[in-house]
Amino acid sequence: MPVYHQEGPKSARMYEVILPKKLGYFGKVQEVLEDLFNETAIRKIPFVKKTIRDQRKKARDFDEDEWIKTLCRASRGYSIYEMDGRYLSPTGPIDERVLVIRFIFHNEGRFGGTADLVAASLEVVNHLVAHRFAEELGVEEEIWFLEYPQINLAIWRKETSDNDAESSAKL
């Protein structure tokens, strides 16, 4: 039987970005989310360029490469789901299906580095995701950004034996 051990509970942050689900948005949604794993793409985002410029003015020892790497490491993944809902508009109730993109951030040593990924999480989701959707889609009245700042996360991690590690390496 495999053996699992519990990590945590530890501090985490969760965010959700909520936008209307429209076929025309799928390409932009995929682009924005895939860019989170690409340092070159992150460097091209206007918010990132501005932040680098501002930080260089403030601190000569600002490490641009380390900051970009932190943004990439912080955004290790996301989940997407749909919700159906109704809201009240000035013209009356409207039924709408929305896309919800959920991010959970926590600090973990398995991926290397000592950066505070939870602290970087707000910049990642607010500016590299929600703000990009707002500006680059440019047609919605509202895109919602929810932050759940004080949650606890427990992870049940499978323990691997030396034999498991050797078997994985052979694959």
pLDDT digits (tens, 9 = 90+) for 72-123: 777 778 899 999 989 898 899 999 999 999 988 877 655 555 667 777 777 7
pLDDT of residue 140: 83
Confidence tier at 165 by pLDDT (50, 70, 90): low
Distance CA 19, CA 166 (A): 44
Q: Where are the domains of the chain?
A: 4-170
Instruction: With residue 68 as reference, give the H or E element that holds it.
Output: helix 64-74
Tokens of 136: 């680059």
Peptide linkage before 9 cis (omega within 30 of 0): yes
Over range 49-73, report the average pLDDT: 84
Determine how many CB atoms are found less than 10 A away from the CB of residue 96: 13
What's the predicted TM-score (pTM) here?
0.74
Confidence tier at 155 by pLDDT (50, 70, 90): confident
pLDDT digits (tens, 9 = 90+) for 11-45: 888 889 898 898 888 898 899 889 888 889 988 88
E strands, the chain, where?
4-20, 79-89, 92-105, 144-158
Q: Which of the pair, 91 or 126, is modelled with greater confidence?
A: 91
- Amino acid code (one letter) for 77: G
pLDDT at 64 over 80: yes
Determine how many CB atoms are found less than 10 A away from the CB of residue 64: 13
Rounded to the nearest 5 degrees, what angle is found at the Cα of 166, between the Cα atoms of 163 and 170?
140
Question: What pairs with residue 95 in β-bridges?
Answer: 86
CATH code given to domain 4-170? 3.30.70.120
Tokens of 26: 């799928």
